[in-house]
Structure 1
C-alpha cells in the first residue's frame, strides 16, 4: 500500500510540474504576442520586442529542461536520500 501511495505522490508531482510548464508556455505566448503587436503598431521602426522574447525564452527553455530533462525521474536530493537509506539498511 505504501508503494502505491509513493507512486501516486510521484505521479501527482510530475503532472503538477508539467502543468506548471504548460501554463508558463501559454502565458509566454500570450504576453509576447501582445508585446510584438504593441511594438509593431507603436514603433515599427525599432524591434525592441526581441529582447523580452529572448530573455523570457531562456527561462522557458530552462523550465523545460527541469521538467522534461534527464534529471526528471528523481531529484538529486531524492537520489542522495535513497543512497543513504541503502547504506543504513546494510
Structure 2
C-alpha cells in the first residue's frame, strides 16, 4: 500500500502519513497474527498435539522484526531522528572542511 498522495506537497504531512501508514500496517499484521494463531492453537488442541507453537514462534519473529523496523528504525522513535541529525551534522562538517 502506497501512502503517496499526489496533492500533498508538504514534506511534513507526507512523512507523517508515511509513518502512520507503516504503524497501521504493523497493527494489521499483529491482528492477523493473533487471529490466525488462535485458529491454529484451536486446531492443535483438538488434535491432541501441540504443533501450533512452531508457526507462532516463526511468525512471531517476523512480527517482532517488523515492529522493530516500524517503531525503532524507520522513524517511529527518537532513535531515527537522532541518527538523521548526527548524519546531517557529519555531512555539514565534511562540506565545510573541504
Shared fold per TM-score greater than 0.5: yes
TM-score (norm 2): 0.68
Instruction: Name structure 1 gaps, 5 residues minimum.
Output: none
Post-superposition shift, 1:70?
A: 4.7
TM-score (norm 1): 0.74
Structure with the bigger RCO (C-alpha within 8 Å, sep 6+) is 1
Could you say what the CA RMSD is over the residues aligned between the two structures, in angstroms? 2.6
Bigger proportion of residues as helix = 1
Residues in 1 aligned to 2:34 and 2:26: alpha-carbon distance in whole angstroms = 12
Deviation string 1:54-87 (CA, Å, 9 cap, x unpaired) is: 0000011001101111552559xxx4x9566x46
Residues in 1 aligned to 2:24 and 2:69: alpha-carbon distance in whole angstroms = 13
Residues in 2 aligned to 1:14 and 1:71: alpha-carbon distance in whole angstroms = 8
Alignment of 1:1-90 (within 5 A): 5-41=10-46, 43-44=47-48, 46-72=49-75, 74=80, 79=84, 86=92
Instruction: Name structure 2 gaps, 5 residues minimum.
Output: 1-8
